[in-house]
Structure 1
Amino acid sequence: MAKDIATRGPNHVAIIMDGNGRWATQRGRPRLFGHHAGAKRVREIVEACPDLGVKYLTIFAFSTENWKRTQTEVAGLMSLFRRYIQREARALFEEGVRVRFIGDRMKLDDKLVTLMDELELLTAVNSKVHLTIALNYGGRDEVARATKRLAYEVAAGRLDPKDVDDETLPRFLDTYVLPDPDLVIRTSGEARISNFLLWQSAYAEYEFIDTLWPDFKADEFAGLIANYSERDRRFGAIKT
């Protein structure tokens, strides 16, 4: 069964990790307690990927809209990201995980950006699992930044406007080296995509589940992968 899932399952899974704050509130704890619990859950899901045939995993860690949260929560999250990278870097490298970050780094503090750069460099030789972390990421922001880079290429005479089509813009996206996601999962019971991988997910399958992210375990992940393997994906075509 596991072999069948790995054969017919998704190559690239993207996850909107939602519900950390509610998980903590249900336990009478501050929201940051939930974020710390959620960060620990990431390791289990990453480790489950190879046996499930998932080569690429992209997780939504912090959106461009999350800056609207309280200063205390934002500062706590930034501290958590720094500690996560420092704590997990060696294990990710040894487990064959290649880490990439997508999103606008300009608003992030220098220490965090340095740690991100170092982790990407450290794991650049790995290929067992490609883990992409979306940090200060928004789909609209990504498309706007990509369009700006494309416009500069046109203005510099390196790109003819007549040659711009739906295969041109993706070369300027943060995810230009990644395949599009096959399956997008959102935890916590919310049924919206929250500005995540808008261009890339045009033909992705979606799973909206009630489980809060800190409670999302590898067996439930495997079940969603199995569900995906039963879907009939036609990409707009009709079976003949």
Structure 2
Amino acid sequence: MDILQSIDRTRLPKHIAIIMDGNGRWAKERGQDRVYGHHEGVLSVREIVNGCAEIGIQYLTLYAFSTENWNRPKEEVNALMELLVNTIRKEVEELKKNNIKLHVIGDIESLPEVCQRELAEAKEITAGNNGLNLILALSYSSRWEIVEAAKKLAKDAMEGKLKPEDIDDKTFHSYLNTAEFPDPELMIRTSGEYRISNFLVYQLAYAEFYFTPVHWPEFRKPNLYEALLDYQQRERRFGKTSEQIQTTPQHA
């Protein structure tokens, strides 16, 4: 049976988050520089975005550039920013045609102005789409996001807009960059690393983790389907017992 046919489309995660790791290592293994790996990784982005849209995933968050990535060599950072701009320009019409809506989370103001303009334009062009929600995490880190949320909460409390004792999980979530999205149910990390690297720490509290040794430039639709099959074989209990889960529908 084809791997795609093995997937139960009634039990898909609404939201998948991916740490796209291994571009540099993949390039080095081939005697190329790291930038070459980033360019090749764009092909995987295109295929996985289309794959998620085709199968019916509602939200896909891609960890494209972390706040820590600013510490990489200047040449690599500049190349990544140029690649980001060029990719958005090339792909925005395809996103529009495929009914994909673009969102961005992170410290966007820290990006070069040309990146900010291209992102704003792409978001505007795709704003009317109602298919897959593609969320790019750019200049993003969870610690940055949580600190920013805490600052806004403190400011609103000082101004009397809310009482500290009224702050709960729902309130805090509304101050996060991801306030308009459901939390991911599945987090995929490529290239064999077993950590989440400051990515959606608050939101991944109940996500299933899937780690694969495949480097991101080689990650394609069959790899995505394997991750989905693995996800569907897991029991999501949310603190309950297996017996309780068997008598009620599982969260999907």
Q: TM-score, normalised by structure 2?
A: 0.93
**SS of residue paired to 1:65:** helix
Aligned-residue Cα RMSD (Å) equals 1.2
Is it true that 1:188 corresponds to 2:152 in the alignment?
no
Tell me how far apart the structure 2 counterparts of residues 151 and 88 of structure 1 sit (CA, whole Å). 39
Residue of structure 1 equivalent to 2:246? none
Equivalent in the alignment of 2:16: 13
Match of 1:148 among 148, 151, 168: 151
Asked if 1:226 corresponds to 2:221, the answer is: no
Question: 8 Å contact 1:9–1:226 — kept in the other structure?
Answer: no
Equivalent pair of 2:15/2:60 in contact (CA under 8 Å)? yes
Q: Does 1:239 align with 2:221?
A: no
Where does structure 1 differ by over 6 angstroms across 4 or more consecutive aligned residues?
A: none
1:143-182 map, 5 Å: 143-182=146-185
Separation of aligned partners in 2, 1:184 and 1:134: 14
Aligned to 2:60: 57
8 Å CA contact 2:53–2:100 kept in 1: the answer is no
Q: Determine the structure 1 residue equivalent to 2:102.
A: 99
Native 8 Å contact 2:56 2:132 kept in 1: no
Q: Which residue of the partner structure matches residue 26 of structure 2?
A: 23
Aligned-residue offset at 1:3? 8.0
Contact 2:24 2:37 (C-alpha < 8 Å) held by counterparts: yes
* Identity rate, percent: 44
Q: How many residues align?
A: 240
CA distance in 2, matches of 1:230, 1:28: 39
**2: CA distance between counterparts of 1:131 and 1:4?**
22
**How far did 1:152 drift?**
1.3
Question: Which secondary structure state, in structure 2, belongs to the residue aligned with residue 8 of structure 1?
Answer: coil
Q: Quick one: which of 190, 197, 201 aligns to 2:200?
A: 197
**Deviation of residue 4 (structure 1)?**
5.0
1:135 to 138, 141, 147: 138
Cα distance change of structure 1 residues 198 and 159 upon mapping to structure 2, 3 Å threshold: same
Instruction: State the Cα distance separating 1:155 from its structure 2 match.
Output: 1.3
Q: Does 1:124 align with 2:100?
A: no
Unmatched runs of 5 consecutive residues or more in structure 2: 244-252
The amino acid across from 2:149 in the alignment is A
Q: Is the 8 A contact 1:185 1:206 kept in 2?
A: yes
* SS at structure 2 position matched to 1:62: strand
3-state secondary structure, aligned to 2:156: helix
Q: When the two structures are superposed, what TM-score results if normalisation uses the length of structure 1?
A: 0.97
CA distance in 1, matches of 2:159, 2:5: 51
Q: 2:113 pairs with 106, 110, 113, which one? A: 110
Q: Which runs of 5+ in 1 are unaligned?
A: none
Aligned 8 A contact 2:7 2:228 in 1: no
What residue identity is the alignment partner of 1:225? L
In the aligned structure 2, how far is the partner of 1:125 from the partner of 1:5? 29
**How far apart are residue 217 of structure 1 and its match?**
0.7
